[in-house]
């Protein structure tokens, strides 16, 4: 009888203790969720791994971490969008104001004859540049939103590379820029989205010619055992150490004083397209000595 009483007493004590610990765990859980609700995503629930509530705490901690990462990404995106809007306010308003000035001068008859024709050509040129800027902006936003769909196909990368570079030859010759090309005559097959590859190569050449202000540019296609390397080298102004980590950011310009020299979108588009196309992009540069961009592309199996 005494033994039974002792056993019952121990059981009651155990149940009371268990109930107390359960209540304590629930209070801890409620307090944790309240703190998270108030925006404190740095909090984590701590509980022994063998506790019956451990799985619940694990799932809650997982949700908190995910929400914390999502919030960090949202904050970064908001900061980038604010910088973009600030840049857009200048990069769009300024050419529009200039364009209106030329068109108003023509409309009001303030210029005539050859000068009128000159004003018209300047206005037309600014319109084309503004159109190009807006197209680049929408393409970048499409890439970042995940709406851009790749259309991969088998192609001869030597021929595709040659076609893009040939389209630049008249511009290079017009600006007295020397060029060297080393592209194999034979066919090297790979699988990629041709339009994306053309845009990547086009933007890299444009960056060297227009933004880097090079006097010589070299493009080489090198075949390796399981991949192809495309190298674009220039002897332009190069990139300073302070700017190297930011040149792929949208709307970033190495020289902020050269507001009219480009949109700052070209290399950002290159970065997005290479990431989506599984192309490894590498670059190195030295201020005053030029830049080198390398594309590593897998061969077709």
pLDDT 10s digits, 128-138: 888 888 888 88
DSSP letters along 24-91, please?
HHHHHHHHHHHHHHTT-TT------TTSTTHHHHHHHHHHHHHHHHHHHHHHHHHHHHHHHHHHHHHH
For residue 84, CA distances in Å to 80, 137, 143, 242, 250 come to 6, 10, 15, 20, 8
On whether the 153-298 domain is CATH 3.30.565.10, my answer is: yes
pLDDT 10s digits, 60-102: 777 777 777 777 777 777 776 776 666 666 667 777 888 888 8
Q: In the chain, what are the domain boundaries?
A: 2-73, 92-145, 153-298
Mean pLDDT of 103-109: 87
Q: Is residue 301 over pLDDT 80?
A: no
């Amino acid at each position: 009888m005494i033994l039974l009483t002792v056993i019952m007493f121990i059981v009651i004590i155990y149940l009371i203790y268990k109930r107390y610990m359960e209540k304590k765990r629930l209070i801890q859980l409620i307090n944790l969720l309240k703190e998270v609700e108030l925006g404190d995503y740095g909090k984590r629930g701590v509980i022994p791994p063998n506790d019956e509530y451990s799985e619940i705490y694990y799932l809650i901690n997982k949700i908190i971490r995910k929400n914390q990462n999502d919030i960090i990404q949202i904050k970064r995106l908001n900061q980038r969008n604010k910088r973009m809007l600030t840049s857009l306010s200048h990069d769009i308003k300024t050419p529009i104001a200039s364009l209106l000035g030329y068109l108003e001068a023509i409309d009001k008859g303030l210029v005539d004859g050859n000068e009128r024709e000159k004003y018209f050509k300047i206005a037309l040129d600014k319109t084309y540049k503004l159109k190009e800027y807006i197209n680049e902006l929408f393409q970048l936003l499409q890439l970042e939103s995940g709406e851009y769909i790749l259309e991969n196909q088998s192609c001869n990368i030597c021929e595709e590379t040659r076609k893009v570079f040939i389209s630049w030859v008249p511009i290079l010759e017009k600006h007295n820029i020397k060029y060297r090309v080393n592209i194999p005559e034979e066919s090297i097959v790979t699988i990629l989205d041709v339009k994306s590859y053309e845009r990547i190569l086009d933007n890299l050449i444009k960056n060297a010619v227009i933004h880097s202000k090079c006097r010589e540019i070299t493009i080489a296609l090198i075949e390796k055992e399981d991949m192809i390397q495309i190298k674009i080298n220039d002897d332009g102004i190069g990139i300073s150490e302070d700017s190297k980590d930011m040149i792929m950011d949208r709307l970033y310009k190495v020289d902020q004083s050269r507001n009219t020299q480009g949109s700052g979108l070209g290399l950002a588009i290159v970065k997005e397209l290479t990431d989506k196309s599984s192309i490894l992009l590498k670059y190195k540069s030295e201020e005053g000595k030029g830049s080198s961009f390398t594309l590593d592309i897998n061969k077709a199996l």
